[in-house]
Amino acid sequence: YMDIIKIGLIGLVGVLVAASMKSYKNEYGVYIGFAVCLLILTYSVNYFTRIMTGMESMQTYLGDNFKYLSLLFKAVGAAYICEFCSGICKDAGYAGIAGQVETMGKMYILLLGMPILSALMKSIQEIAG
């Protein structure tokens, strides 16, 4: 619970400092925003490693179906990375590049979902005969 409060405060203080620096020099605000994003990313990586440890313990229970859970977490990671990069691009004033990063992320997630869709279609075909 305290980590979430820390993240919120880091973000809030970062925004206030970046906003005050933008009036002095615009690029300093972008740099501070980027640094705050990296700091929050390090906290996120800590949580992600905890999640991965939990997933490894579930692997024995899931057996062959573990690969689908792994794909789900890859998709979540890809979405987070694309959102992170897109936000930085938007803050720097490059909305066009941010849009392309988001589009590429969506296509990557769709590609990750293809094995699941294929397995679903195969199961439906087996049931239908």
pLDDT value of residue 29: 84
d(CA 57, CA 61): 8
Residue 103: what pLDDT? Answer: 94
pLDDT of amino acid 69 = 79
- The alpha-helical segments, DSSP class H, found in the chain are 2-24, 26-62, 66-91, 95-128
Q: How far apart are CA 128 and CA 124, in angstroms?
A: 6
Structure tokens given for 66: 């573990």
**Nearest-angstrom CA–CA distance, 73 and 77:** 6
DSSP code of residue 92: T
Report d(CA 30, CA 36) in Å as an integer.
10
pLDDT at res. 18: 85
The model's pTM is 0.68
Strand, coil or helix: what is 46?
Answer: helix
Walk along the chain (129 residues) in steps of 10 and give the mean pLDDT of each run.
84 88 82 88 84 78 76 86 89 89 93 87 87
Spatial CB neighbours of 63, under 8 Å, sequence gap ≥ 6: none
Tell me what pLDDT residue 128 has. Answer: 86
Closest CA to 82 of 102, 103, 96, 99: 102
Q: What is the pLDDT of residue 67?
A: 78
Q: Contact, 114 vs 76, CB < 8 A?
A: no
